[in-house]
Amino acid sequence: MSDATTTVRPPMPAPGSAGHLLQLLRDSDACTRPQLVELSGISRSAVSQRIEALLAAGLVVQDGAGASTGGRPAVRLRFHHENGLVLVADLGATHAQLAVTDLAGTVLAEQAENWAVADGPEPVLDAVRACFDALLTRIGRSRDEVRGIGIGLPGPVEHGSGRAVSPPIMPGWDGFPVPRHFADFDVPVLVDNDVNIMALGEYWTAWRAQVDDLLFIKVGTGIGCGVIASGRVHRGAQGAAGDIGHVRVPDADHALCRCGNTGCVEAVAGGQAIADRLRALGRDAHDARDVVALVKAGDREATRAVREAGRELGRVLAAAVNFFNPAVIVIGGDLANAHEQLLAGVREVVYRRSLPLATRHLRVVPAQEGERAGITGASAMVLAEVLAPSAVDRLVNGVT
């Protein structure tokens, strides 16, 4: 090569556009301009110019004086997360969580509803829209401030188009274009399945600063998995990634699954399957919540059943650990409220059956976000899109 100055060396810092500076500010409490120069590796004048653009766009705000370094005190800058809203709805089979968050994902108002998703898309989404307006009114804010909408659905979703795809428990929703129903808001509308947004919610709240690869397992009526790869939801070629509920486990050919096959892990270790077995033993158990109540009341059969379910789940997860090598497995869903027994079973098998290198630092932990994981994750999904460096650069270039 004729010009020695063109040699390239890694690792390269981020290019330091306005969007990247905003990213740095979002990840810290507040920063001075000199700190941003140091963090970004770009020049003082470039930082100043880009911060001016971010201030003009209302994405950054000056927040009093920073620590003095001998001369005049440096002005502290922070992400102006109050300057915009996100509307989110986490729709389950028979209940829904709705919320308004700010641009940091903080919940400003929320509402729980007992809607049946089986009523079909039009009535359910009309109710969502009315609830969004009511929530905005409750906190005295307006539709003009909304930057994006995030919706979670209890079934497979084609994320790119926001359509449900052959959802088994959602009659009438197949192919329905959810974003179009909110077109009058004139903001991005992002849709994903409930397990993916719960995974993102747990990741965003508790883990993103520490790890890149995480599995979130939802054990409720059925069993599903949300896959976070390199900090982002991995959806796969048809958006079907994480569908571990129908992986076969050995010696379970007797168990008929709602999917039509036999021997699926969900058919032996899902909340419904356990409730059915306990009912056959004379217990008053109809769903995962009843199972948890029996465990908490000290019922031995229920305790044994949940522990064994953990082991079955562990067999499937051991293979997933060898294949994917996550840093953390988070166990959530209704059955996870009996998490001591469930996690003990999972850990027992995963640590025995996975490879030493893959389990050396692996943590298997209960979910922390509870009911809020869905709305937190839906908000994070929207923010990742509307505050992506490329989106911010485009916005800022349009404004200045």
Should residue 320 be labelled a site residue for a copy of itself when binding is judged by CB under 8 A? yes
Complete DSSP assignment for 232-301? EE---TTS-TT-GGG-B-TT-TT-B-TTS-BSBHHHHHSHHHHHHHHHHTT----SHHHHHHHHHTT-HH
Q: Taking a C-beta distance cutoff of 8 angstroms, is the pair 355, 324 a contact?
A: no
Beta carbon nearer to a copy of itself, 28 or 83: 83
Beta carbon nearer to a copy of itself, 69 or 390: 390
Angle of helix 300-324 relative to helix 271-280, nearest 10 degrees, comes to 150
Cα 284 from Cα 297, distance rounded (Å) = 12
In angstroms, what is the minimal distance from the CB of 328 to a copy of itself?
8
Residues in the interface with a copy of itself (CB under 8 A) total 88
Should residue 364 be labelled a site residue for a copy of itself when binding is judged by CB under 8 A? no
Should residue 10 be labelled a site residue for a copy of itself when binding is judged by CB under 8 A? yes
Should residue 250 be labelled a site residue for a copy of itself when binding is judged by CB under 8 A? yes
Using CB under 8 A, which residues numbered 155 to 184 contact a copy of itself? Answer: 156, 165-166
Closest CA to 271 of 193, 342, 365: 342
Which of 123, 171, 175, 236 binds a copy of itself (CB under 8 A)? It is 236
Closest CA to 246 of 281, 213, 275, 270: 270
Apex CA 275: angle with CA 273 and CA 276, to 5°? 65
Structure tokens at 103: 């641009």
Neighbours of 27 (CB within 10 A): 12
Stretch in the footprint of a copy of itself (CB under 8 A) among 106-114, 127-135, 310-318, 334-342: 310-318
In angstroms, what is the minimal distance from the CB of 6 to a copy of itself?
5
Using CB under 8 A, which residues numbered 72 to 91 contact a copy of itself? Answer: 83-84
Cα 49 from Cα 54, distance rounded (Å) = 9
Should residue 297 be labelled a site residue for a copy of itself when binding is judged by CB under 8 A? no
Which of 32, 161, 325, 368 binds a copy of itself (CB under 8 A)? It is 325
Which of 240, 279, 281, 286 binds a copy of itself (CB under 8 A)? It is 240
Which of 30, 75, 93, 241 binds a copy of itself (CB under 8 A)? It is 241
Using CB under 8 A, which residues numbered 270 to 289 contact a copy of itself? Answer: none
Should residue 111 be labelled a site residue for a copy of itself when binding is judged by CB under 8 A? no
Cα 69 from Cα 35, distance rounded (Å) = 12
x/- letters, 36..65, toward a copy of itself (CB under 8 A): ---------------------xxx------
In angstroms, what is the minimal distance from the CB of 37 to a copy of itself?
15
Which of 319, 344, 348, 366 binds a copy of itself (CB under 8 A)? It is 319
Cα 198 from Cα 201, distance rounded (Å) = 5
Closest CA to 362 of 371, 353, 370: 353
Should residue 19 be labelled a site residue for a copy of itself when binding is judged by CB under 8 A? yes
Using CB under 8 A, which residues numbered 123 to 162 contact a copy of itself? Answer: 144-145, 147-148, 156
In eight-state DSSP terms, residue 327 is S
Should residue 307 be labelled a site residue for a copy of itself when binding is judged by CB under 8 A? no
Please state, in angstroms and as integers, the Cα–Cα distance from residue 328 to each residue in 65, 213, 243, 337, following that order. Answer: 39, 7, 18, 18
Say how far residue 233 (Cα) sits from the centre of its chain.
8
Cα 127 from Cα 149, distance rounded (Å) = 15
Using CB under 8 A, which residues numbered 201 to 230 contact a copy of itself? Answer: 211-213, 225, 227, 229-230
In angstroms, what is the minimal distance from the CB of 302 to a copy of itself?
28
Should residue 360 be labelled a site residue for a copy of itself when binding is judged by CB under 8 A? yes
Which of 116, 247, 293, 344 binds a copy of itself (CB under 8 A)? It is 247
Cα 84 from Cα 62, distance rounded (Å) = 17
Beta carbon nearer to a copy of itself, 254 or 361: 361
Should residue 108 be labelled a site residue for a copy of itself when binding is judged by CB under 8 A? no
Using CB under 8 A, which residues numbered 371 to 390 contact a copy of itself? Answer: 385-390
